[in-house]
Amino acid sequence: MPVGTKGTVKGLTPEDLREVGAGIVLGNTYHLYLRPGSDLIKEAGGLHAFMGWEGPILTDSGGYQVFSLAQTRRISEEGVEFASVYDGSPHVFTPELTTKVQEDLGSDVAMVLDECPPANASREYHEESLRRTARWAYRCKEAHERRDQALFGIVQGGLSPDLREESLGLTVEIGFDGYAVGGLSVGESREEMLEALALTVPRLPAEKPRYFMGIGDPVGILKVIALGVDMFDCVLPTRLARHGAALTRDGRINLKNARYRTDFGPLDPDCSCEACAGYSRAYLAHLVRENELLGHRLVTLHNVRFSVDLCLRARREIGAGRYEQWSRAWISRYEGSDPAGADKLE
């Protein structure tokens, strides 16, 4: 799911997103509440009408900001008091407020308010936090009134298997339309993250969507799919593009590298997006080095298309019953250990 924090996937129009095959985008409750304001968006007819996107939208509750803005917030049983990143003004995000804001935004999927502790938080803090998150989740469900909007619960618990199981039990007992695994990709190693995910995902209700919050690198995507994750999001594809990095089946390339100044081949021979079909690596490298907006847009378009295509291919391989073999070969090629491996199952 491409991330459109402030109501836009950076550099791309809704038509761009439709053309690359994106089926759903994300918006961020914290940022949209502060600017331009959820009241204004509601007056405009909701976030779909405001940003011109007809497909589904998922909105985060602001829970990630509880982690990322730790220096400017205070947590209590009532909610989270933030100092606005824009003007420093105080705002208190409660479960009831974040639910109401997401209903005003009119997203198709709303998230409960949760706390996402850092990986190195103490066990005692994780215990306190996961139980508070469960109490907040119950309040979110009680406050949720829109029947045309799904509400997802979030499992916390850090890296401790027993705490993960406790959080999962509390969250599933409340009952939600889907379930997210939170509190990972916050400082732990990739191995620790995958281990915690492997313990959690199989225990979530199989008939409900399972959402892992915050992964976007190609290898990570394939590994979490293998564990049973249905949905995931990350700013990585768009952020990489703004720094001149492109995703290809042969690994990530940095267009600021001198070797691409005279490379007149396509960005990715395996891709038919606008950037790959119409422009050379040399031209894109020139745009990136000169900080031209067109360069950012074209590389963003490619990275999002690449990520969507990877997920669509993964879906086909699951349907064909050969996902494990295919993903292993794909990862080998991407990491450079078997350049032709991913073609063996074409």
Q: Is 206 exposed, middle or buried (0-12, 13-18, 19+ CB in 10 A)?
A: exposed
Give tens-digit pLDDT for 11-55. 999 999 999 999 999 999 999 999 999 999 999 999 999 999 999
Assess whether 343 carries a catalytic annotation: no
Catalytic residue among 16, 104, 114, 233: 233
Which stretches of 144-280 are DSSP H helices? 161-174, 190-200, 218-226, 236-242, 274-278
DSSP 8-class letter at 280: B
Q: How confident is the model at residue 119 (pLDDT cuts 50, 70, 90)?
A: confident
Is residue 81 within 8 Å of 23, Cβ to Cβ?
no
Q: What is the rounded average pLDDT of the residues 249-265?
A: 97
Q: How confident is the model at residue 7 (pLDDT cuts 50, 70, 90)?
A: very high
Token output for 310? 């990877």
207-240 as b/e, with b when 16 or more CB fall inside 10 Å? ebbbbbbbbbbbebbbbbbbbebebbbbbbbbeb
The full DSSP string for 161-175 is: HHHHHHHHHHHHHH-
| Residue 104 annotated to the active site | no
pLDDT band at 343 (very low <50, low <70, confident <90, very high): very low
Tell me the whole-structure pTM to 2 decimals: 0.94
Backbone torsions φ then ψ of 37, nearest 5 degrees: 110, 135
β 80-83/25-28 pair status:
unpaired
> What are the structural domains, with CATH classification, of the chain?
14-233 (3.20.20.105), 240-343 (no CATH)
Q: Contact, 210 vs 231, CB < 8 A? A: yes
Q: Is the pLDDT of residue 295 over 90?
A: yes
Given the structure tokens 């109501």, which residue do they identify?
A: 7
Question: Quick check: 248 pLDDT over 80?
Answer: yes
Q: Within 13 Å and on the Cβ side, how many CA atoms surround 139?
A: 19
Q: In the predicted model, is pLDDT for residue 4 greater than 50?
A: yes
The answer to whether 79 touches 112, Cβ cutoff 8 Å, is: no
Please give the Cα distance from 60 to 76 (Å, whole number). 20
Which listed residue (16, 60, 104, 114) is catalytic? 60
